[in-house]
Amino acid sequence: MFELSKDHEDFRALVRDFAQNEVAPHVERWDAEAHFPTELVPAMGELGLFGLNAPEEYGGAGLDEGGFTYLCLAIEELGRVDQSIGITLSAGVGLGINPILTYGTDEQKQRWLPDLVAGRALAGFGLTEPEAGSDAGATKTRATLADGTWTVNGAKAFITNSGTDITSVVTVTAKTGETSEGKPELSAVMVPSGTPGFVVEPAYRKLGWHISDTHGLTFEGCQVPEANLLGARGEGFKQFLKTLDDGRIAISALAVGCAQRMLEEASSYSRTRIAFGRPIAVNQGVSFQIADLAVMVEAARLLTYKAAWLKDEQEAGRRGVAEVKQAAAIAKLYSTEAAVTATRIATQVFGGNGFMEEYPVARFFRDAKILEIGEGTSEVQRMLIARGLGLPA
């Protein structure tokens, strides 16, 4: 069975210290101003957070085993302080770095990874479209190849890390033809920032994740070299499925950070808030809710780190893809729904103060809902789990 090593726990403490000192003092202002702290990304890179899964030749940690679990620990601890900063790391590695690391040519890796791993740049992953989210087969973005050049036309929606001052490239899924069965052939094409015809739309006005960078993207006659194909032509569907499997575990870790913070906030407030001459924590209506919260946090954390451990075991050749896929879906489903419930409980414990932006529970309440949607909705996770159990499609 899995367990976290002393090295893992020491690393957790390191990231927690960074989050408390470099992130916590600023998040209220950043959130209010919807400011993406570009200056924080290189500091995260110097701490090694973007290179936990990368080899040393690209500036990564070069860990023999356990890299994915280290990443989840970092996401949890950053997410415990602020969810937007947690998703910046999660997307920066899972959607930006890992597809290039996994499917890129040596030339692509040498060109893009050193800056991404160091935190000098960020990369995005353009999958979702205005009319194609979970139904990737409905993708309308097209990439046509002629005379050694891909021409990309279409639009993407809700793309993280896609419009920052240091965004260097976005990998885009696009139709590149049809299969022999007449189905859409999907491939992944890398589009560098600043390419003519690549337009980053204005940032969204979002319910939560105000600090996170999120944009729609449009491509109008956008041309890139044939060598910018990431992986084999027609393999884009398989590539993004694997990317999402990994991302679901990372989002689960982000949800654990959210739920953990809500447990801490509700516990602390219930001890100091006086009503009818005594702390509200003595009321079972309050204490029982916090007890339930503690159970949810513990269960979510165990499911998440089991899935992360299985992912590391898979990378070492000791576990199969199906086992990791099932564990990822279970962890993502439970942890994200637990996080949403945790923010509701914490806000209720705070009463009227929970509705005030000066208290962090309000920010976490806004931020939590997207956890049940991004990287596959709760409904999609239930479908995947059912399939993993062998139930009829």
Please list the active-site residues.
375
Q: Three-state SS for 97? A: helix
Structure tokens at 325: 């896929």
Vertex 101: Cα angle to 61 and 12 (nearest 5): 35
Read off the DSSP letter of residue 201.
P
Distance CA 134, CA 372 (A): 13
Distance CA 292, CA 304 (A): 18
Closest Cα to residue 89, out of 99, 103, 77, 100?
77
Per the CB < 8 A criterion, the answer to whether 206 and 77 are in contact is no
Non-local (6+) Cβ contacts of 346 within 8 A are 262, 263, 265, 266, 293, 354, 361, 364, 365
Closest Cα to residue 310, out of 252, 256, 260, 255?
252
